[in-house]
Amino acid sequence: AAALQWCETNRVELKKRGSLVEFLLHQSHFISLVQSKKTPEALRYAKILGQFCDTQKKQLQRLMGTLLFINFGLENSPYADLIQEAHSAEICDLLTKEACSLLGLSKDSPLTITVDAGCKALPALNAIKQVMEVKQLWGLKDELPCEVDLGPSCQFHTLLACPILRWVELSSDMHST
């Protein structure tokens, strides 16, 4: 319920990104109603799913097809793939990714990011070192003469957080004032 509430609050941004997370959360809830054999609740919830008919028509048709097997169980139906445990993990990962992305944060741990950045930068740094050694420039300066591009996955916005006032501000906001 909290995840759906977050999706509703951030619906505009999620739609701009083409995110499926809100639909997948609704789909998951609908499937749980069908598996619990709660026909009236599932039918009422199907109306909520109608908001996705423009973008998820085929999947909505499949979801409505599950209602035919509500009394027999989805396990042995043509819709058995909709009840796989992997779906929950995928939805959780997607929700984490979208939430972090909207906040300008990475979903990966700082250690993972650091190792990834080091692995990307090392070949370029080795090449620069070899050129500087050949030209006998190594050791003359404390910094490298160029930047190493690590790609968009290693670019972040600085967030400043005040633990007392409990507000968060982007570093770019500070420069505009």
105 Ramachandran zone, left/alpha/beta (phi>0; psi -120 to 50): beta
For range 115-131, the mean pLDDT: 82
Which two structure tokens, joined as six digits, stand for 131? Answer: 């050129």
- Quote the radius of gyration of the chain (alpha carbons, Å): 24
- 173 pLDDT above the threshold of 50: no
**Residue among 76, 82, 37 nearest 59 (CA):** 82
Residue 171 has, within 13 A of its CA and on its CB side, a CA count of 5
| Cβ–Cβ under 8 Å, residues 171 and 159 | yes
Q: What are phi and psi of 36, to 5 degrees?
A: -80, 0
Q: Distance between CA 87 and CA 58 in Å, rounded? A: 18
Q: Distance between CA 89 and CA 134 in Å, rounded? A: 52
**pLDDT-based confidence at 143, cuts 50/70/90?**
low
Which two structure tokens, joined as six digits, stand for 114? Answer: 């650091």
**Average pLDDT value over all residues in the chain:** 80
**pLDDT-based confidence at 177, cuts 50/70/90?**
very low
For range 70-75, the mean pLDDT: 86
Q: Report the pLDDT value the prediction gives residue 160, as an integer from 0 to 100.
A: 63
Helices of type H across 104-148: 110-134
For range 31-40, the mean pLDDT: 90
For range 18-47, the mean pLDDT: 91
* pTM over 0.75, yes/no: no
Q: Distance between CA 75 and CA 69 in Å, rounded? A: 9
Q: What are phi and psi of 56, to 5 degrees?
A: -125, 40
Q: What are phi and psi of 170, to 5 degrees?
A: -75, 145
